[in-house]
Amino acid sequence: MGALDRDTAPTTLVEALHQFRGSDLHDLCETTELAVIDGGGFGWVEPPSRDMLERFWRGVLAAPGRSLLVGRLDGVIAGSAQLLRPPPNNEAQRFAAAIIMSFVAPWARGHGLARALLELAEKIARAEGFEVLTFDCRETQTAAMQLCLAMGFVHWGSNPVYAKVKGGLVTGHYYYKVLDPGTDGPSSSEPPQ
Ligand SMILES: CC(C)(COP(=O)(O)OP(=O)(O)OC[C@H]1O[C@@H](n2cnc3c(N)ncnc32)[C@H](O)[C@@H]1OP(=O)(O)O)[C@@H](O)C(=O)NCCC(=O)NCCS
């Protein structure tokens, strides 16, 4: 990268958001709409109304067991992901957290935001003592699949009836990553206890 590139390259930042400031909520909604219109891949097929989106994101921020992570390009929210912890009743799976709803606005892609968001989710999960991270996505999300494999996730299975998009069924892929070096992952074919 030359001196000129360094001067013009956008600044990137990822963080766990605890409250919306300034234009954060507006920018997060706009980012969501653009990513959904571009093809989605993280739940919505059509962009919901702005009112519904605002209520959705306020709910995410307030929900227990969730961390809302955002990625900023030159200070503007341009991507997001969530770290989802298991509910208190799920004692058998309390060692595993999930990364859900990761996306970046089309105009902000290719600057490393998605990777940084997943790395932040992993860092928080490790700090909280989680041993495993899970992730899933539609088979059409090539970039997301490449990214999670590059980050050491293991593809363990696929569901041919994972999502329905514009009337057609789409296969989904499931991944896990072992965070605790003491947990080797599946090693036995013994029946579950
Ligand atoms: C997947 C997505 C989040 C990537 O965002 P991004 O900020 O552009 O990604 P990054 O710049 O951090 O790139 C990280 C890695 O992703 C992969 N990647 C990114 N764009 C890619 C593309 N067009 N094709 C293939 N792999 C790609 C690469 O492995 C890349 O690593 P590299 O730069 O070392 O090659 C973005 O494309 C997106 O929002 N897609 C739609 C929603 C989605 O699929 N969400 C995931 C399922 S919930």
Quick: pLDDT tens for 21-47: 999 999 999 999 999 999 988 899 999
Q: Is residue 188 part of a domain?
A: no
Q: What is the pLDDT of residues 107-166, one digit of tens each?
A: 999 999 999 999 999 999 999 999 999 999 999 999 999 999 999 999 999 999 999 998
Q: Report CA-CA distances (Å) from 89 to 7, 35, 93, 133, 188.
A: 51, 34, 9, 18, 26
Instruction: Give the Cα separation of 32 and 34 in Å (integer).
Output: 6
Q: Is residue 147 part of a domain?
A: yes
Angle made by CA atoms 160, 117, 185, in degrees to the nearest 5: 55
Please name the residue that has the structure tokens 């990553």.
177
Element holding 52 (H helix, E strand): helix 50-62
Residue 148 belongs to domain spanning: 3-178
Pocket test for ligand 1, best of 14, 109, 137 (most atoms within 8 A of CB): 109
- For the entire predicted model, the pTM comes to 0.92
- Ligand 1 pocket (Cβ < 6 Å) reads 35, 41-42, 79, 101-104, 109-115, 137, 141-144, 146-147, 150
Q: Band of the pLDDT at 7, cuts 50, 70, 90?
A: low
Q: Is residue 192 part of a domain?
A: no
Residue 130 maps to which CATH number?
A: 3.40.630.30
Cβ–Cβ contacts within 10 Å for residue 6, how many?
A: 8
Mean pLDDT throughout 60-81?
Answer: 97
Residue 68 CA to ligand 1 center (angstroms) comes to 19
Pocket test for ligand 1, best of 12, 146, 149 (most atoms within 8 A of CB): 146
Closest atom of ligand 1 relative to the 144 alpha carbon: 1
Question: What's the number of domains the chain is made of?
Answer: 1
> Rounded to the nearest 10 degrees, what angle do helices 113-127 and 142-150 cross at?
50
Q: Is residue 59 part of a domain?
A: yes
Q: Which two tokens stand for residue 185?
A: 């992952």
pLDDT score recorded for residue 186: 60
Task: Give me the chain's average pLDDT, please.
Answer: 92
